[in-house]
Structures are given as C-alpha cells and as structure tokens.
Amino acid sequence: MMKGIGTIKKIKENQQRITASGEHADLQLVRYSDYVLRVTARQQRVQNPTSKANPYAVIQSEDNRGALSFEKQGNHYQISGMKFRVQMEIDNGRLTFSTLD
C-alpha cells in the first residue's frame, strides 16, 4: 500500500488520463483501453539543494492488463484492475491518494 498527500497544484482529467500534482506527491493514471491502465505515483524526496537531480522518486509504476472498473463520485475516484486498486480524493484543495494491493 502506498499513500500520498499534498496541496493541489493542478489536476487534469480527460477520458484517458488523470494527473494530480500535489505539494509532496504526484499521481498519474493513464488509461490506454478498457484493459490497460498505467499508474505512476511519485513522491518528493529530500535532496541536496545544489543538486540538479530529479527531485521526485517513482514509488510505483505499474501496468494493469485486465478488465478495469472506473468509478467517480464527486471528488472521489476509484480505479480497480486485476493488479491494484487506486483511490483518489480531492477535498478543499488537498489531494489524498492510496493504492490498495
């Protein structure tokens, strides 16, 4: 299980993609078809301020190949596949997401 939380900087949503960027974590769900979904979650890592390295660490990146279920109720999203479930909530400018194994 993985969790992230942060202040919303931006959220984009269309038929194929949901991208939510927070203060400390980003979550991207890309739906390629009814059977293929890629989930990538990134969490900000502590780094040397003079370093030019990527300030994010990918904490989960996974493809699902199997039937998908996508539910949205208000600001609550739940995407279920064969390999994982992702829940995402947007509340008062705060993003909370978790993956459930």
Q: Which residue has the higher pLDDT, 51 or 66?
A: 66
Span 23-56, pLDDT tens digits: 667 777 788 877 777 777 776 665 555 666 665 5
Q: What is the DSSP letter of 93?
A: T
Span 71-101, pLDDT tens digits: 778 777 777 777 777 777 777 666 666 666 5
- Rounded to an integer, what distance in angstroms lies between the CA atom of residue 99 and that of residue 79? 10
